Amino acid sequence: MAAEPPEDVDWGEHCAGAGPPALVEIRGVYAGGLFYECARCGFAFQRWSKGHYLHDKARRYIIMHNERRAVARLDSRSHP
């Protein structure tokens, strides 16, 4: 599932040319895309504007997602 990020969400210059990011659903939290994931590198970023009731909830999962991703990268480096 892919979608264009809303204009008020800043995903910066992240992986320019990667194409539209994927929506990630966390079951039991929100029935739908809770946050975006870069189609190229898997980096997660915010879908909701500040003040939206899902913004803070999504933020926790975005941080967890990116921490796991960082750990996975370290693992693959130590086991080539």
Residues of this chain that interact with Zn ion (CB under 5 A) are 14-15, 38, 40-41, 43
Nearer to Zn ion, 28 or 63 (CB): 63
Nearer to Zn ion, 16 or 31 (CB): 16
Nearer to Zn ion, 17 or 28 (CB): 17
CA angle 80, 19, 38 (to 5 degrees): 50
CB 18 to Zn ion: min, Å:
5
- Rounded CA-CA distance 70/47 in Å is 21
